[in-house]
């Protein structure tokens, strides 16, 4: 499949905003997703965005999509210790028809 | 409220041993998946089943076999385990709405092959 890339680590102070970035290469991507994995658990869907949208807001989460640059970001406002987890970006494209995941970004929230 | 259930949670094998990882979902989903998760590599698709009675290879199928026993259950078999198969394995099922596909994951099986 095509590549989905993320930075591996992000450290953020409690109360600050976190921004996790992701780039992808498949131009036929239709939906893009953010999943959260807490220690010892499986992945949970956080949010998703359709490729014809630029932005989606869901409570403390804001997803921005720049389709021209194939860049996706997830902003978490007022980051809490419970937000410490690994965040995975994934894209679903017409070319493969299944989700392609990035390597995950470990977010550590410090008091 | 079970969702996707995987067993076992942990397993240690010796090289050459065989085992089957079990997965069941109670959400009436058609599609089911097996992934492996390795540090720095994200999730890689091993096999998937788009519907009961069908299975297809994913990115990394070598050394594995699968069985879609019925709509609920999708098992993954390692016939002769190798150290390279040490990983965390996740089963998932999906709800599809057009081209939007939301995956629901089990809690994983940590497998060590010595």
B13 is written with which tokens? 């094998």
Residue B1 CB-density burial (10 A; 0-12 exposed, 13-18 middle, 19+ buried):
exposed
Nearest CB partner across the interface for A103, out of B4, B40, B92: B40
pLDDT at B11 over 70: yes
d(CA A61, CA A53): 15
A45 to B43: CB separation less than 8 angstroms, yes or no? no
Identify the contact set of chain A against chain B, taking CB-CB distances under 8 A. Answer: 1, 4, 8, 30-31, 33, 35, 40-45, 48, 50, 88, 92, 94, 98-99, 101-104
Nearest CB partner across the interface for B43, out of A40, A41, A101: A101
> In this predicted model, which residue has the larger pLDDT, B98 or A19?
A19
Q: Name the H helices within A1-111.
A: none
CA-nearest of B11, B7, B24, B4 to B85 is B11
By three-state DSSP, how is residue A66 classified? strand
Mean pLDDT of B41-48: 91
The predicted pLDDT at position A107 comes to 97
Chain A residue at shortest CA distance from B103? A45
Chain A residue at shortest CA distance from B32? A98
How high does pLDDT run on average in chain B? 94
> In this predicted model, which residue has the larger pLDDT, B75 or B40?
B75
Tens-digit pLDDT profile for residues A66-83: 999 999 999 999 999 999
The predicted pLDDT at position B95 comes to 85
Tens-digit pLDDT profile for residues A40-63: 889 999 999 998 899 999 999 999
């Amino acid at each position: 499949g095509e590549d989905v890339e993320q930075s591996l680590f992000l450290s953020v102070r409690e109360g600050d905003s976190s921004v996790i970035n992701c780039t992808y290469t498949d131009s036929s991507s239709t939906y893009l997703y953010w999943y959260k994995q807490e220690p010892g658990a499986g992945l949970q869907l956080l949010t998703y965005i359709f490729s014809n949208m630029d932005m989606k807001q869901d409570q403390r989460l804001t997803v921005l999509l720049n389709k021209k640059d194939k860049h996706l970001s997830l902003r978490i406002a007022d980051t809490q210790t419970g937000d410490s987890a690994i965040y995975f970006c994934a894209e679903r494209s017409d070319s493969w028809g299944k989700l392609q995941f990035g390597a995950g970004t470990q977010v550590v929230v410090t008091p | 409220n079970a969702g996707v259930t995987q067993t076992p949670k942990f397993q240690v094998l010796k090289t050459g041993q065989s085992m089957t990882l079990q997965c069941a979902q109670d959400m009436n989903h058609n599609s089911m998946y097996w992934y492996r998760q390795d540090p720095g590599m994200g999730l890689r698709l091993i096999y998937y089943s788009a519907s009961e009675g069908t299975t297809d290879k994913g990115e990394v199928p070598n050394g594995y076999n699968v069985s879609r026993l019925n709509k609920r259950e999708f098992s993954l078999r390692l016939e002769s385990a190798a150290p390279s198969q040490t990983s965390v394995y996740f089963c998932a099922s999906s709800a599809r709405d057009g081209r939007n596909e939301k995956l629901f994951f089990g809690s994983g099986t940590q497998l060590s092959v010595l």
